[in-house]
Structure 1
Amino acid sequence: MPKNMSIQKVSLSMVLLYGLVFFSPYIFSPFSSDIVISGTTFTYILGAGLMIWLYIINKNTAVTTVEKEAKLTSPVFIYLLGVSGIFLAMIIQAVVFGIETAITGAEPSSQNTQNIIAVILANPLFILATTIGGPIMEEFVFRRSLIGLTETYTGFWIAAIISSSLFSVIHQDGHFFVYFFMGFFFALLYKMTGKIWTSIIAHCGMNTLVVIAQLVMHYANIELPK
């Protein structure tokens, strides 16, 4: 049982686990689309569960600088910042989308989100991967693990920029700055409380609201003005 691991070992384990989960759809690719979606959903939830387990059993030895120096560690702040972060994250997303659209003339829509909604419509079970499994893993990897691995050498701000850049690239959406600023905002939530649960609440909540809004527009046949 991997107890009393250092933050470096826990972080590297989570990054490796995320990589395995990220490429898991290729394992199921020879089978039907339903099996691919169900299998991917299972691996996402399993991956998130394993990361939570690794975090809990090593919480006394695997501690980041952010967690050591945090001031607002009260559960009250974790809850309030996490919940308010849901709506602030959506505002940031909308603002950056608007600026990006005004500058580049690109469509103010996310292909990544549209692809996810298409999969959910084909198999509603996948909603668990996008609203729970995926966000939890991304927070443990891009906020806690990557920042934990690099902040000793670069300081928090550079580490946050690096992790946010990778967070954006991994989404392969074409909206680099939208995902970059989202990632940076989640990193700030983590820094403020020193608890990864804060950014997890905000990330899971935002994804849930986005999915619900997209599904409502789909079933109500609502199209956004162009």
Structure 2
Amino acid sequence: MSIKKVSILSIIIYFFTFFSPFFLVLISKNMLVPGVTFLYIISSCLMIFLYFTGKEPALIEQNSKLSSPVFMFLLGVSGIFLAMLLQGIVFSIESIFTGMPPSSQNTKKIIDVILKKPIFILATTIAGPIMEEFVFRRSLLSLMQPYSGFWISAGISSAMFSIAHQDGHFFVYFCMGLFFCFLYKITGKIWTPIIAHCGMNALVVLAQLAVYYGS
């Protein structure tokens, strides 16, 4: 299967999963969170399956020179803390210029859901980030880069990544998207930003839960 077909299928799977809560809530409100979590896990597994069955590598993956698995893993792990640092810096800058509080309403809503339905932590720390990396990094970059180059494609995909979070902190998520694109470009392995993204989300969630239970 070509990279174009894999990318388009991944995007279709993502949109189906993204809008699934609007349909699941009509069936049963009590099953909304477990249902969404289940769909997130299934969708992320489908994207991983498409990745391994695809015969054509993405353009970034073809041109990368630093594709060592050890380097990929180390950069992914260090990317967790670099992403946290970057997010804090951008939040502070945004707060100075806009007056918005340096906190995410999206994160607060997620924590509220996790406190009621702990299973949702699987969607937010593992399945969700995996889907977002396959779609906003690998798929969108693969479709756009041949026509616009890497950085323009990265900028467009990062803007879409930020809009998808519906948080109001556009610049914060935009910068995070660019950072994950950069990690992908350096190693040519989508697993690098996946490690960083999953690790970052896990740290944020655990920190918020520690604050809640410690207060």
TM-score range, shorter chain: over 0.9
Which of 21, 26, 31 is equivalent to 1:35? 31
> How far 1:31 sits from its partner (Å)?
4.0
Residue 210 of structure 2 is matched in structure 1 by 216
Indicate conservation of the 8 Å contact 1:34/1:123, yes or no.
no
Q: Does 1:97 align with 2:97?
A: no
In 2: Cα distance, 1:193 partner to 1:160 partner: 15
Q: Does 1:107 align with 2:74?
A: no
Q: What is the identity, as a one-letter code, of the residue corresponding to 1:27? A: F
Q: What is the identity, as a one-letter code, of the residue corresponding to 1:121? A: L
Residue 61 of structure 2 is matched in structure 1 by 67
Q: What SS is found at the alignment partner of 1:29?
A: helix
The count of aligned residue pairs is: 215
> How far 1:64 sits from its partner (Å)?
1.2
Residue 188 of structure 1 is matched in structure 2 by 182
Indicate conservation of the 8 Å contact 1:11/1:149, yes or no.
yes
Q: Does 1:200 align with 2:188?
A: no
Indicate conservation of the 8 Å contact 1:86/1:202, yes or no.
yes
Which of 54, 73, 77 is equivalent to 2:50? 54
Residue 135 of structure 1 is matched in structure 2 by 129
Q: What is the identity, as a one-letter code, of the residue corresponding to 1:33? A: K
Which of 102, 117, 122 is equivalent to 2:116? 122
Q: What SS is found at the alignment partner of 1:34?
A: coil
The normalised TM-score by structure 2 is: 0.98
In 2: Cα distance, 1:203 partner to 1:34 partner: 29
Q: What is the identity, as a one-letter code, of the residue corresponding to 2:35? A: G
Q: What SS is found at the alignment partner of 2:168?
A: coil
In 2: Cα distance, 1:101 partner to 1:6 partner: 43
- Structure 2 gaps, min length 5: none
Residue 79 of structure 2 is matched in structure 1 by 85
- Structure 1 gaps, min length 5: 222-226
Indicate conservation of the 8 Å contact 1:10/1:62, yes or no.
no
> How far 1:42 sits from its partner (Å)?
0.1
> How far 1:32 sits from its partner (Å)?
4.0
> How far 1:62 sits from its partner (Å)?
2.5
Q: What SS is found at the alignment partner of 2:120?
A: helix
The normalised TM-score by structure 1 is: 0.94
Q: Does 1:44 align with 2:43?
A: no
Which of 146, 153, 157 is equivalent to 2:151? 157
Q: What is the identity, as a one-letter code, of the residue corresponding to 2:114? A: I
Shift of the 33–215 alpha-carbon distance from structure 1 to 2, 3 Å rule, reads farther
Which of 18, 22, 25 is equivalent to 2:18? 22
Q: What is the identity, as a one-letter code, of the residue corresponding to 1:104? A: T
Q: What SS is found at the alignment partner of 1:216?
A: helix
Q: Does 1:11 align with 2:24?
A: no
